[in-house]
Structure 1
Amino acid sequence: MEAIIIDADNLQQELATATDKFVDLLGKAPDNYFNSTPFEGSWTPGQVGEHVLLFLSGIESVLQLPGSDVARPIDQYRSLLKDIFLNFEKRYAAPQNVKPSGGPFDKGQLIGSIKDKAANIEKDIKEKDLSRICTGAPFPTIGEMTGLEWVYFGIYHLARHTYQLENMQPYYIK
């Protein structure tokens, strides 16, 4: 098995870039539409933001779990996660623990909380051994993942919801 070296600086930058793109779009949602559903079957921008906050909180928690050695490539599920979350043709139901409430949401407070969670994960990228399996929190349909895979899940999931916000924008331009 070939050893994979984690470039923490690059990984931090990827997460920061994904977070910045998401937060920028979330911030552009007009206040009078932030808690309004733009079209049938959609979440509000505020609900998308709360969902992102919830899954980032989950990643932060998982990275604190005890780790165990891995007998497989530490990024084995990276491409699978990318295929799942960057396939914008498919829709998925959010697991109950990351389903947003009905709101209403305060845009500034929500954006600040998302930035804080992402900053905590960026700190963990530098301080934690992401090559270890995060035991005790299996990912649905995949199983236990390494810290590195959890961070990539966050990056790809942020990109998915950035795309979701991009698709809402035409409904705000009247």
Structure 2
Amino acid sequence: MRILRTSGVSDFPAFLTHPGSHPDGHTGNRSNLCSSFCRKMNSISRVHTPTLQLKSFNFMFIKRMIMQIIARTEATTVYCNTAASFPEGVLKAHQLLHQIYPSSEGRHFFGISRPVNGEIEYKAAVSLAPGEQPVTDRFERFVIKKGLFLSSTIHNFMDNIPSIQKTFEHLVKDPRVDHDGYCLEEYPDEKNMICMVTLDDDKVQDMHRKELAKEYGALYENLLSTILSFKEKDYNKRPFSGGWSPAQVVDHIIQATGGLPDQYTMDTDRLYSEKDEMTRSAFLNFDTKMQAPDFLQPEQRDYNRDEQVKTIEGIRDQHMQSIRDKDLFAICLDFEMPVWGTLTRYEWLKFIGYHTTRHIHQLKKIHNAV
């Protein structure tokens, strides 16, 4: 998962503005190309997902296709030429737009489609370069909203027109899609196409709530059973190889994961899961040694296992309540992680899972050694 940041020249495929040309560099049958493009446009805006014929090609395509959530961090103002009809008028809409706004540095080209009064409305659209003013008032102003989109990039899309339909078929199947939104195409260059559909933030959060609740249920069941697997006489005993006792490891877990630093928060200005992979790869690499900061070092004393178990159960319940009730995308401002800075609630909850998993692994190694 990533933030979508586009830069440079964004050009609509060359064959649309140069009749008879093809991205491969050879001349082709323009009517066939236009027909293929119109079939593509017909597929990307369907509200109801067509039934897929599950042939071997489809399985190969599904295996190759990568879908990811991206965040458009700013709203994008575009100027649109609405097609007179769909799909027949799509090509002409883009060609007319390019007559007024040819490709140049800083301009970005889009296709926007959505159902209106039972028909598909398609808009060929362009965003202007910074500081550039529209040269005509004949084109409608439209704002592509900021927020979450489900996306998939098709490389060399003109070489595989059927993949465009299949890409959008899979995108619109996703249960998190905002059905009041729209299908969006972006052309970062003349060979590649980014297919996007708008997502409903609440649906995305609801799915994560279910996933996190399941993860945390298994996580704390594993942690508690591991703690209770130690005999009382071994619980405060440090390993012969040195390091913390089992009780000290548990105390460190309690200190490090006892709550979320979320008394003060702000709306996120980035993808809510942007830092998740960084924390996951760091803490789930068990071959890497880590040193806890001084303020999270356990005391050199004996601990009561039953009291620690009760504390762990309370922490679990508190996190479960946060998963159920709080905005997972908000950035927590009470504490900044070294290197990574501030995290969203979602990232904190994932981090707590990785951190706890790391120390469960440590506890099991200690258990095998005693």
1:28-86: CA deviations, max 9, x gaps? Answer: 111111001123232100001101111121xx2413x2211112110011111110110
State the distance in 2 between where 1:169 and 1:17 align. Answer: 20
Greater helix percent: which structure? 1
What does 1:23-172 align with in structure 2 at a 5 Å threshold?
23-57=224-258, 60-63=259-262, 65-172=263-370
State the distance in 1 between where 2:234 and 2:337 align. Answer: 33
What TM-score results when the alignment is normalised by the length of structure 2? 0.44
Please, which runs of 5 or more residues in structure 2 have no aligned partner?
Answer: 1-70, 72-147, 150-200
Over aligned residue pairs, what C-alpha RMSD do you find? 1.3
SS in 2 for 1:62: coil
User: Runs of at least 4 residues of structure 1 off by over 2 A?
Assistant: none
Letter in 2 for 1:23: L
Letter in 2 for 1:136: D
State the distance in 2 between where 1:159 and 1:129 align. Answer: 24
Matched, 1:12 2:210: no
Higher relative contact order (CA 8 A, sep 6+): 1
Deviation at 1:127, TM superposition (A): 1.2
Residue pair 2:328, 2:345 contacting (<8 A) in 1 also = yes
What TM-score results when the alignment is normalised by the length of structure 1? 0.92
How many residue pairs get aligned? The number is 169
State the distance in 2 between where 1:61 and 1:154 align. Answer: 9
Letter in 2 for 1:103: R
Residue pair 1:38, 1:168 contacting (<8 A) in 2 also = yes
Deviates more, 1:131-140 or 1:145-154: 131-140
Residue pair 2:260, 2:345 contacting (<8 A) in 1 also = no
State the distance in 2 between where 1:45 and 1:18 align. Answer: 17
Please, which runs of 5 or more residues in structure 1 have no aligned partner?
Answer: none
Greater strand percent: which structure? 2
Letter in 2 for 1:133: I
State the distance in 2 between where 1:18 and 1:160 align. Answer: 11
Bigger Rg, which one:
2
Cα 1:151–1:143 shift into 2, 3 Å: same
Identity of aligned residues (%): 23
Letter in 2 for 1:22: L
